[in-house]
Amino acid sequence: MLEIKNLHARISDGREILKGVDLAVKAGEVHAIMGPNGSGKSTLAGVLSGKPGYEVTAGQVLYQGSDLLAIAADERAREGVFLAFQYPVEIPGVNNMYFLRAALNAVRKQRGESAMDAGQFLKAVRAKLKLLEIGEDLLQRGVNVGFSGGEKKRNEIFQMAMLEPKLAILDETDSGLDIDALQTVARGINALRGPERAIVMITHYQRLLNHVVPDRVHVLSGGKIAKSGGKELALELEQTGYGAYGDAA
Amino acid sequence: MTDTVAARNLAPLREGYKYGFVSDIESESAPPGLNEDTVRFIAAKKHEPQWLLDWRLESFRKWQTMESPHWAKLRIAPIDYQAATYYSAPKRQNAPTSLDEVDPELLKTYEKLGIPLNERAVLAGVAVDAVFDSVSVATTFKKTLGKLGIVFCSFGEAVREHPELVRKYLGSVVPQGDNFYAALNAAVFSDGSFAYIPPGVRCPMELSTYFRINAAKSGQFERTLLVADKGAYVSYLEGCTAPQRDENQLHAAVVELIALEDSEIKYSTVQNWYPGDAEGKGGIYNFVTKRGACRGARAKISWTQVETGSAITWKYPSCILEGDDSVGEFYSVAITNNFQQADTGTKMLHLGRNTRSTIISKGISAGKGQNTYRGLVRIQPKAENARNYTQCDSLLIGDKCGAHTVPYIEARNPTARVEHEATTSKISDEQMFYCQQRGLSTEDALSLIVNGFCKEVLKELPMEFAVEAQKLLAVSLEGSVG
């Protein structure tokens, strides 16, 4: 599904943040990428999703066998790449439901499916709302406007559930969540696990991984994958910290 | 990085002006220039009565003593009023009585604009008094309206058929010498629309007029007069497109609304005149005086405008709230892109007791566009318990445009309650990226964000107009990000 080879990337001030990342994620797998602050976790998410502000200087990213970096952000999204934002963005005046329907129909069009009418859409929405314990009133509000931190994160996972991506990248989705919200979000993520889908969870802490158990865990440090292992690696990190993996910068 | 992203985003905005074509219709124009003979020529062409000619000449003499206003935040190249043509009409002399008699070229032009007059009118239930250049060419649904006693016709026809109404109200809201452009219009106005809704009648359809500037170098001077008698209701739609030209074209319209006791007038405009090209060449100069008077208790006048076109827009649809408990509203979206300039807003003049006004203004600036909201709220000494709420929001796209808010508040009664809120925001790269990451193209993302910003105004438009307006916003901003 996703193959990252020797990926180097820098930010606008010229600093190189990713210094040769190698990673392969197969369909059906859930991978966790952990690491200290400043290790390049969010940069990796940004580069994969096509966020402006990064320059890839070397390396390659293959998505379903073709060059992911060659296509624009919106095209990547329509091809099935989803990023759950660490800080979801507010869009005043744009109804959350309207936004989601526009997004869903853009993605469906790409998949060769017909646009959903309001009735079908509402039906699909209701089922997912329940899963993520989101009130219908949230849908009628502006996109992320006035949402609490927990509501924003749940809304991201709700969008993911609706859009059914092939590759989901979750950037610190667990940060700022209380334990109940964490469990709800985890339930949402688990419901999306499936043989056709790859999930990459970027997180600083181990606690999300208690609820969404990963197949593989990687430690990103100094812009490279410093260690990879099974789910037990996350527990080990919780004990020892990131100190063993050297200077984050 | 953010700046370079924004700048790169600004590049591909041009789809070009979709309606930039010139119809091949022979015009019968007045010779260029402006003097009393020009005024007499126009009046003679239109077979106008002496009283109207006198009124025009009086206006012309006032205009000669006036200067064009320079207080607006606009850069206007000097206009040579003697170089313009003040009358141009399709050549056919006898007014057509049905669509069959209308010049096929004209009808084709409407079709290109997406306004198949016959079909559209029937399907949408809209009566269209279409103004092509200066003379009305077709009026539909007159009979239905006639049964209710509603008069809806060209201004010229109103002068012939209903001179008593025209004489009573003409210039009663916008006096001849009100301002430079209004005086010019009063002297040389060519045609326009007239509507009268009798007491207690609710107009069953949206009245609609499409204006279009066509003949080269002809200024366009419409005059619209709308009267809602006691307890009447009318919703009036005005929409405009113009063909592409290199010369700047002058447009100075006057709209007067009179709402008597317990009546309501809703006046909606979508203005899409040629804004000039991406280098700032060409485009319409739009200097409009629009004003309504609530002449009786509980009267209501509501202006809604979506201004996307014109090189320069100078326009302040206003309400004079004379009657007690009367209500004035102004909802506006103004877009400036490339080199467009807009100085627009409203005046709410509170004279009666318990008068209320609401102003919602949304300005969007992209490219090198300059957008100014200029508004006056005046509470006169006798206006006990007057209330005003004003909200002015500006949205910036890119970093070479400008937004300005100039509110004037004059409260001369201590019981007045006047609220003013203003915000300025910028479409952020984060917002664009968020939309794109959900699969929306750059254009769709921009359109979504802008429509969200304008929502409070767009919802005031009649349904079919709102849809048109949304598309127009997207087209107007095409290429401002990418």
Of B296, B288, B292, B285, nearest in space to B265 by CA:
B292
From chain B, pick out residues whose CB is under 8 angstroms from the CB of A95: 452
Q: What is the pLDDT of residues A126-149, one digit of tens each?
A: 888 888 888 888 888 899 998 988
Joined together, the tokens standing for residue B241 give: 């497109």
**Percent of chain B predicted with pLDDT > 90:** 43
Instruction: Measure B330 CA to nearest chain A CA, in Å.
Output: 19
Q: Check whether B140 has a pLDDT greater than 70.
A: no
pLDDT value at B122 more than 50:
no
**pLDDT over 90 percentage in chain A:** 65
Instruction: Nearest by CB to B437, from A49, A90, A100: name it.
Output: A49
| B50–A contact, CB cutoff 8 A | no
B7 pLDDT more than 50: no
Q: Which residue of A has its CA nearest to B434?
A: A89
Please tell me the predicted confidence (pLDDT) of residue B15: 43
CA distance to partner chain A, nearest, from residue B270 (Å): 21
Kind and range of the H or E run holding A131: helix A118-132
- How far, CA to CA in Å, does A123 sit from each of A127, A128, B19, B472? 7, 9, 41, 32
Which residues contact residue B6 at a Cβ distance below 8 angstroms, ignoring those fewer than 6 apart?
B398, B399, B429, B481
CB contact under 8 A, A77 and B439: yes
pLDDT in tens, A28-52: 999 999 988 888 999 999 999 999 9
Higher pLDDT, B217 or B328: B328
| Nearest chain B alpha carbon to A48 | B437
- Mean pLDDT to the nearest integer, A219-225: 92
What distance in Å separates residue A229's CA from the closest CA in chain B? 30
Contact A94 B452 (CB under 8 A): yes
Check residue B443 and give its pLDDT.
85
Q: B327 versus A95: which is more confidently predicted? A: B327
Average pLDDT score over residue span B113-122: 46
Report the DSSP pairing between strands B312-315 and A198-203.
Answer: unpaired
Residue of A39, A3, A35 whose CA lies nearest to A223 = A39
Mean pLDDT of B388-406: 90
Pick from B211, B262, B214: which is nearest to B236 by CA?
Answer: B211
User: Is residue A243 pLDDT above 50, yes or no?
Assistant: yes
Helix A96-110 vs helix A118-132: angle between axes, to the nearest 10 degrees? 110
CATH architecture of A28-50+72-245: 3-Layer(aba) Sandwich (3.40)
The count of other CB atoms within 10 Å of the CB of residue A214 is 22
Q: Is the pLDDT of residue A169 over 80?
A: yes
Give the DSSP H/E element, type plus range, for residue A42.
Answer: helix A41-49
Q: How far is A230 from chain B (nearest CA, A)?
A: 30
Nearest to B439 among A78, A85, A90 (CB): A78
**Residue B420 · residue B359 · CB < 8 Å:** no
Q: Do residues B225 and B155 make contact, with C-beta atoms less than 8 angstroms apart?
A: yes
Name the CA dihedral angle for B198, B201, B204, B209, rounded to a multiple of 10 degrees.
30
What is the pLDDT, as a whole number, of residue B383?
96
Q: Has residue B481 been placed in a domain? A: no
Task: Report the alpha-carbon distance of residue B174 to residue B186 in Å, rounded.
Answer: 10
Question: What part of A 71-100 touches B (C-beta under 8 Å)?
Answer: 72-74, 77-78, 82-83, 85, 88-95, 99-100
User: Residue B209 — very low, low, confident or very high, per pLDDT cuts 50/70/90?
Assistant: low
The pLDDT tens digits of the residues spanning B286-301 come to 899 999 999 999 999 9
The single-letter DSSP state of residue B362 is E
Q: What confidence score (pLDDT) does residue A186 get?
A: 93
A93 vs B429: CB contact, 8 Å cut-off? Answer: no
pLDDT given for residue A52 in this prediction: 92
The residue among B285 and B249 whose pLDDT is bigger is: B285
Whether B306 has a pLDDT exceeding 60, the answer reads: yes
pLDDT beyond 50 at B13: no
pLDDT for residue B250: 81
Lowest mean pLDDT among A215-229, B183-197, B234-248, B454-468: B234-248
Res B134 pLDDT > 70: no
Q: Whole-angstrom Cα distance, residue B207 to residue B198?
A: 15
Predicted confidence (pLDDT) at residue A90 exceeds the cutoff of 50: yes
Residue B108's pLDDT is: 55
Which residues in chain B have their CB less than 8 angstroms from residue A110's CB? 439
Backbone angles phi, psi at A210, to 5 degrees: -70, -30
pLDDT value at residue A31? 96
φ/ψ (deg, to 5) at B111: -65, -40
pLDDT at residue number B34: 87
What pLDDT is stored for residue B105 in this prediction? 56
* Mean pLDDT estimate for chain B: 81
Work out the pLDDT band at B236, boundaries 50, 70, 90.
very high
Which pLDDT value is given to residue B218? 42
**Per-chain mean pLDDT for chain A:** 91
Candidate from A164-173, B8-17, B188-197, B439-448 with smallest mean pLDDT = B8-17
B452 inside 8 A of chain A by CB: yes
Q: Give CA–CA dist A137/A80, Å, rounded.
A: 28
Identify the pLDDT of residue A118: 83
Mean pLDDT of the B213-242 span: 76
Assess whether pLDDT exceeds 50 at residue B125. no
pLDDT tens per residue across span B17-44? 555 545 555 556 777 788 888 899 889 8
Look at A92 and B429 and tell me if their CB atoms are within 8 Å. no
CA distance A172 to B293: 59
Domain range spanning residue B410? 2-476
Query: pLDDT grade, residue B171 (50/70/90)?
Result: very high
